[in-house]
Structure formats: structure tokens, C-alpha cells
Structure 1
Amino acid sequence: MYQLPHAIALHRLSFAVSGSESAEPSFLGRTPICHTLSYLRFLRRGRVQHLLHQLKYRGQRDVGQVLGRWYGHELAQQNFQFDLIVPVPLHPSKLAKRGYNQSDPFAEGMAESLRTPWHAAGLRRIEHTDSQTRKNRLERWENVANVFEVTDPAMIQGKHVLVVDDVLTTGATLEACASVLLAAGATEVSIATIACADR
């Protein structure tokens, strides 16, 4: 199992309620998000970036599972409750190239600690998009505006769905997911990420 460095505590940042000054502006006035939650602060060339690179590009799924269990435990202690956890999906071509979705182990770890079901295929990415990394806020929005769909609307009807991903930057991808979930019948949508990037 991948050993997480003790010093990672130096980079902790948790948004325990929606409306956090650091997270909420990404969604203000657009899609109603119940809770905006992140576990760690993402700093360039920092320990959190290193961890996420291990998870995303080095096949270290344990990183996501461990962080998901830790964060899920903290949220459970704060009495957060969700009906279903759904990871942000990769396009099938990118999934085939990478071998797995880096958001899946995080979702799995959170589901274990929160004792909440999770569904790896609750959302489907129906269009391949360019990388978001070097895009500005508007370009990110345009890049993901209509690329997701709910695979089984009956599964999310009347539920509070938690959408999880690796990093929160502008929030464009997460909001696109939230929009289709709400349109398909979810009563509430919250988001949780491993890390939040300074903007």
C-alpha cells in the first residue's frame, strides 16, 4: 500500500459547508450545489500534487482509496449524509489508455467510510474533450457544457448525489455533472474533491 507522508497535514484544507469563500464562487448563480467539499489544498510542486500524480499517472490506486476513506470518515463524523456517490467519468478512449478512472478509488474509499453506495458508471462522458489544464474559466465551461449524461435516471431519482473528482479548479466539469444529475431527477447534488486548487 502507498504510504502517505505525515507532512501532508501541512496542506490540509477542508470546506465543511457550502458557501465557503474559496469554493463557492465557481458555482455562484448557476447550478444549485448543496455542499462544496475538498480535502486538501493543491499547491504546484507540492506534496498534494505529487500524490495526485501518483494516483493519476503512476497507477497508485491506493492513494485515492486511502484519501477517500480518511475524508469519508471525517465527513461521517460531521454527520454528512448522501444517498449515492458518483465519480466524474473519463471518456472511454482516455479510460482505455489510462487503465482506470482516478476518481473511482476516491469514490470507493469515501463510500466505505460513509457507508453509502457508489456507482462507477452512474454518469457517462459522451464526448471526448481536450484537456482542461491550460484553459481559462470560459474555455473550460465551453469544453464540458454538453458532454455528460446519466446512465440510469431511475438510480438517482429523489436522491442526494455526491459527485467526486480529483481536483476542483474552476468547477466547470463538476457543475456540468451536477446539472445533468439534477435534470434527471436528483433532489440535491453535492461535490467532493481530493484537492482544491488556488484560483
Structure 2
Amino acid sequence: MKNLLNLFFPMVCEACNDALSDNEVLLCTSCRHHLPVTNFHFNDVETVKKTVYGRVKLENATALLHFTKKGIVQQILHNLKYRGHESIGEFFGKWLGAELATIDAYKNIDVVVPVPLYRSKLRKRGYNQVAKFSQEIAKALNAEYNDSVLIKIKSTKTQVFKARTTRWKDDGALFNISENKSLAGKHILLVDDIITTGATVEACAAVLLKIHNIKLSLATLAIAD
């Protein structure tokens, strides 16, 4: 059946758009081999933290892949965010989740919270590109998944190509929380698709850290070099 479907609707690589062979899933063997994996959570715990150094206190922080302009990770993220390919988030969520589950620093995560979209963008896109990525990480860590506590209350433009030193130039808060009692004292893992300037993390942390006695960690699919 799979061979028949591929004959009429060939599956293509999410990075290079070449046809996938029967034993390949989502990415061709060549692109998977060339993925710029960071391994930060195994051997470099400080790089992602430095993105928000002095602005947000993070217990732990990691990103699975390096992002460079016009690289294969940009194409993968484009397909995830704008072409409805939510299976990308599921694929990489399982990958990162399985790795984090082997690391003591992530075994005490209580709740996984995805960075939300502004309501008009969510209606237009139809899904939050971070949702399935976050859900799979939560499953791997045996943690609660909560996508209702953090609410985006202002729309913003993408930060992907802005300088790392650039911050949101905004007169008010970008996010709010729906409630805080159920998360008091918990270790929260904030999850996003990409970290660039650190501004989104800072804005989310500004409201999450109002919750009594929480710890905050971060995981993203990619980090901009």
C-alpha cells in the first residue's frame, strides 16, 4: 500500500525536497546525516543560557539543531510553520525528548509549556507549530503538557533574522498567564521552535516567573547562530 501511495503521491524530504525511499521517514539519508545537531544538552549546557544571560534565570537550556540562513534547518522550520507539516514537530520532539529523558537535569521536569501564538495567527495557521514538538517531549519526560497557562496578548513580527542583541521594542507585556496556583512550586520546561535574540524567552519568563517558587528551563528545536 505504501509503495502504491508513493507512486501517485511521492513522499519528499522536508529539507531538500527529493523523493524519499521506502525506508526513509521525513528526511532523506543525506539530509539527516548533515543535520547540524548541537548536542548542547550532552556537553555544552551554557550556550543557550548565554542568549538570555542576565535577563532570565534558567535552570537548564538546550536546542537540538543549529539554524543558519538558507540552511536545511530553515527549510525544515518553514515547512513546519507555514506548510502545515506538523509531523516535523512530532519527529523532532520524539528525538529531543528521548535524549533529554536520559539526562538527570531534565528528569525532574513537571510541566511542559509551549510558547503560544497570538490568537489571530493561530486562527490563520490553524495550529501552533510548537505543539506536537512540545507534546512529544512531555511524553518522553513523563511530564504534564499545559498549553493553556501561557497566553500571547500582542502580535509580533518574527525575530529570526534580527541581531542577537536586539530586544522587543514594546511598551507593554507580550504574554500573560491564565492562572498560577496549579503550577506553584513546579519545574516548567518552556518550549519554542527557535531561539534567536532571546526576546521571546524573556517575555515568557517575565510572566511565568510570577508563579510562586517555580523553576524554569528551556528547550527549542533550533538556535540561530
- TM-score, scaled relative to structure 1: 0.90
User: Aligned partner of 1:150: which letter?
Assistant: I
Tell me the equivalent position of 1:4: 27
Q: 2:121 aligns with which of 75, 79, 94?
A: 94
Counterpart CA distance in 2 for 1:33 and 1:145 is 23
Aligned to 1:37: 62
RMSD after superposition: 2.2
Q: Give the whole-Å Cα distance in 1 for the aligned partners of 2:202 and 2:85.
A: 27
Q: CA deviation at 1:186?
A: 4.8
Deviation of 1:116 (Å): 1.1
Q: Contact 1:129/1:143 (CA < 8 Å) preserved in 2?
A: no
- Partner of residue 145, structure 2: 118
Which residue of 1 is the match for residue 93 of structure 2?
A: 68
1:49 maps to which of 49, 56, 74: 74
Q: Does 1:152 align with 2:179?
A: yes
Deviations 1:32-56 (A, max 9, x none): 1111110111122222111111110
Instruction: State the shift of 1:184 in Å.
Output: 2.0
Q: Which runs of 5+ in 2 are unaligned?
A: 1-10, 12-24
The change in CA–CA distance for 1:145 and 1:174 in structure 2 (over 3 A counts) is farther
Q: Comparing 156-165 with 10-19, which one deviates more in the overlay?
A: 10-19
Q: Give secondary structure in 1 for the equivalent of 2:218.
A: strand
Task: Kindly indicate whether structure 1 or structure 2 has the higher relative contact order, using CA contacts under 8 Å at least 6 residues apart.
Answer: 1
Q: Based on CA coordinates, which of the two structures has the bigger radius of gyration?
A: 2
In 2, the alpha carbon distance for the partners of 1:141 and 1:87 equals 19
Alpha carbons 1:18, 1:36 under 8 Å: kept: no
Q: 2:150–2:175: 8 Å Cα contact kept in structure 1?
A: yes
Contact 1:156–1:181 (CA<8 Å) still a contact in 2?
no
3-state SS of the aligned residue for 1:16? helix
Number of aligned residue pairs: 198
1:166 to 187, 193, 212: 193
Counterpart CA distance in 2 for 1:24 and 1:52 is 22
TM-score scaled by structure 2?
A: 0.80
1:119–1:144 Cα change, 3 Å: farther
